[in-house]
Amino acid sequence: MLELCAIASGSSGNCICVGSDNTHVLIDAGVSGKRIENGLNEIDLKTSEMQGILITHEHIDHIAGLGVLARRYGIPIFATEKTVNAILNTKSVGKIDADLFQVIKPGKRFSIGELMFNPISISHDAADPVAYKVMHEDKSMAVVTDLGNYNQAIVDELQGLDALLLEANHDIKMLQTGIYPYPLKQRILGDRGHLSNERSGQLLCELLHDRFGTVLLGHLSKENNYEELAYEAVRLEVTMGDNPYKAEDFPMYVAKRDSVSPMIRV
């Protein structure tokens, strides 16, 4: 059994819990330690039970609570070498014991308890960002956010999933006509920015198969998207896409920025 729950997901903070019967970890810690603890309590877990914190990259919406958790619980932190260095140079997270860091490499699998992880290189304007695929027995899930674009290598790595948390960051028209300054708009729209609703749906089309389970859309922009729009836009891409599947063939939810998502189990 594998399970996944978004404690928080959005442009203002991200923290995902994944696990099996005997092993649970966090992917990112981008909200306060108190919010993480409260969110885990809602799914009958505790922060002290986490056996690792996997960091996708060093942007503050992914590491805001990391220092507090590290100092309070001494949980091992897994990240690429460049991401570790970037975290250690982020003053706002405070001092973290360097011995807690476990350096990982994209494409090189590693295990924590019962779980096997594959860090996958992604395109984002960070030091060395990754997505994570998690495997246990014959089941697999992935957490894929903060990518400006995707390529065949990413598509290949994500084949055969049973469940997926996938970024649907922005609606292109909302972003283009919104209040963000022009350089920020260009960054988000660029190849090292974030996936739009449409691109999210197109990537999903590449990953669907007959046993595919649940999709949880995440990392929505507070200013340039909203839940119903992301949901309908991604569903439309799937239904209209060049694939044999329709949106109603599998469950889809939208992760919320300020409350715990439904638990996904496969």
Domains of the chain and CATH, by start: 3-259 (3.60.15.10)
3-state secondary structure of 215: strand
pLDDT, position 241: 93
The residues with which 177 forms a beta bridge, in sequence order, are: none
Query: What stretch of H or E contains 198?
Result: helix 197-207
pLDDT, position 222: 95
Where b means 16+ CB within 10 Å and e means fewer, 134-159 reads: bbbeebbbbbbbbbbbbeeebeebbe
Q: What is the pLDDT along the chain (266 residues), one digit of tens a residue?
A: 999 999 999 999 999 999 999 999 999 999 999 999 999 999 999 999 999 999 999 999 999 999 999 999 999 999 999 999 999 999 999 999 999 999 999 999 999 999 999 999 999 999 999 999 999 999 999 999 999 999 999 999 999 999 999 999 999 999 999 999 999 999 999 999 999 999 999 999 999 999 999 999 999 999 999 999 999 999 999 999 999 999 999 999 999 999 999 999 99
pLDDT, position 37: 98
pLDDT, position 167: 98
pLDDT, position 186: 97
Closest CA to 233 of 146, 182, 169: 169
